[in-house]
């Protein structure tokens, strides 16, 4: 007959509950924050497409914002308006600059706030 071990190993019920609680918390945060990051990806993709468009490289800010507005209507972008995108001019080039906060409710009265910003250089007009 084998003697009983002096120390048991493995998860107890309480440690299993704590592990599931931690996993559940991080799953909730991921599920709530994922749409914000997907929206940011649409914003970034649209701005890069506008900045690389050869026809818009020498356009004014109003025309660029109109094209951006059309793209964002198609892509269903939330949280940022075309008016919030600034066209910054420097001596060497122009760029599209944006900064915004995305907010979502985690649970009850706790919110998650994520700040996004970017600076996308506009392609220089080609000389033909």
- Does residue 97 register a pLDDT over 80? yes
- The stretch 3-30 carries a mean pLDDT of 86
78-86 long-range contacts, CB within 8 A, separation 24+: 78/39, 79/36, 79/39, 80/43, 85/47, 86/61
The pLDDT of residue 107 = 85
The number of distinct structural domains making up the chain is 1
Residue 65 within any structural domain of the chain: yes
Please give the residue range of the domain that contains residue 55.
Answer: 35-121
Residue 19 within any structural domain of the chain: no
Give pLDDT tens digits for 26-84. 999 999 999 999 999 999 999 999 999 888 877 888 999 999 999 999 999 988 999 99
Sign of CA dihedral 102, 105, 106, 110: positive
Residue 45 within any structural domain of the chain: yes
The pLDDT of residue 5 = 67
The pLDDT of residue 30 = 95
Residue 2 within any structural domain of the chain: no
């Amino acid at each position: 007959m084998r003697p009983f071990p002096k120390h048991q190993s493995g998860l107890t019920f309480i440690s299993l509950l704590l592990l599931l609680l931690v996993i559940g918390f991080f799953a909730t945060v991921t599920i709530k924050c994922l749409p914000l990051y997907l929206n940011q990806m649409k914003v970034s993709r649209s701005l890069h497409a506008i900045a690389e468009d050869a026809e818009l490289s020498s356009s004014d800010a109003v025309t660029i914002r109109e094209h951006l507005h059309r793209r964002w209507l198609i892509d269903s972008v939330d949280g940022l308006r075309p008016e919030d995108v600034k066209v910054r001019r420097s001596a060497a080039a122009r760029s599209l600059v944006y900064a915004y906060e995305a907010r979502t409710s985690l649970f009850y009265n706790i919110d998650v706030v994520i700040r996004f910003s970017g600076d996308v250089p506009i392609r220089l007009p080609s000389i033909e």
